[in-house]
Amino acid sequence: MGELKIGRIVLGVCQTNCYFVYEEGGHEVILFDPADKGAYLYEKLTEKGFQVAAILLTHGHFDHIWGVEELKERSGAKVYAYEEEREVCEDADVNVSGNTGRPCTVKADVYVKDGEEITAAQMTCKVIATPGHTKGSCCYYFEDDKILLSGDTLFQESVGRTDLPTGSMSALVRSVKERLLPLPEDVKVYPGHGEATSIGYEKKYNPFL
């Protein structure tokens, strides 16, 4: 397997990070959180010579799922989400899209379990359940390449908000401390908003932890 590379397209009213992970020299990507404009995402990736092999959701908030339907329709890729996030994905009130004037729901093709490994385009990541931002928030960990897609669970010097439906600050802090901070300090963290960080940096400088 070649070295993994990660690209980012920032989309939507919340400036959400939409990541695509691929092998160096490869032509297939795993796409994380199609934040908006799924057709645009598809076109931009196609221009780069990429095909979408799978769509993975860190959670079901509107600003992470608005582009799912269009991207899935054009790419034919399956959508994956953590099993505890089903209600958030499938209920426009719970995922807050109903309050935006643009209600949206998503039914994942595959609801995965904590600790389950997902393999697409010969790349494998592990599901790490991190409830708190929502009850079914999760992160995806490429262990060999020390890459963590943290969604809205862990940010650079911050953590996700917990004042929306199914959120819990105590659960979120516990998730980060028990599930993420034990990872190697040189693991690169790619959050749902803002710039990348590392586990080691957050151990030292994150005031919420």
**Which CATH number fits the domain that encloses residue 26?**
3.60.15.10
The per-residue pLDDT for range 11-38, each reduced to its tens digit, is: 999 999 999 999 999 999 999 999 999 9
Print the domain residue range for 166: 4-205
> What SS3 state is found at 111?
strand
What's the rounded Cα separation, in Å, for the pair 145 and 130?
A: 20
Count of the separate structural domains present in the chain: 1
pTM, to two decimals: 0.97
Res 1: pLDDT: 58
> What value does the mean pLDDT take over residues 167-192?
98
DSSP code for 113: P
Whether the CB-CB separation of 147 and 124 falls below 8 Å is answered with no
The per-residue pLDDT for range 124-150, each reduced to its tens digit, is: 999 999 999 999 999 999 999 999 999
What's the rounded Cα separation, in Å, for the pair 173 and 190?
A: 18
What's the rounded Cα separation, in Å, for the pair 114 and 103?
A: 28
Q: Cβ atoms within 10 A of the Cβ of 174, count?
A: 14
Q: Do β-strands 28-32 and 16-23 pair in parallel, antiparallel, or remain unpaired?
A: antiparallel
Task: Give percent of the chain above pLDDT 90.
Answer: 99
Res 82: pLDDT: 98
> In the numeric block, which tokens belong to residue 107?
């039914």
What's the rounded Cα separation, in Å, for the pair 92 and 100?
A: 10
The per-residue pLDDT for range 67-107, each reduced to its tens digit, is: 999 999 999 999 999 999 999 999 999 999 999 999 999 99
Res 2: pLDDT: 76
- Going by pLDDT thresholds of 50, 70 and 90, the confidence category of residue 109 is very high
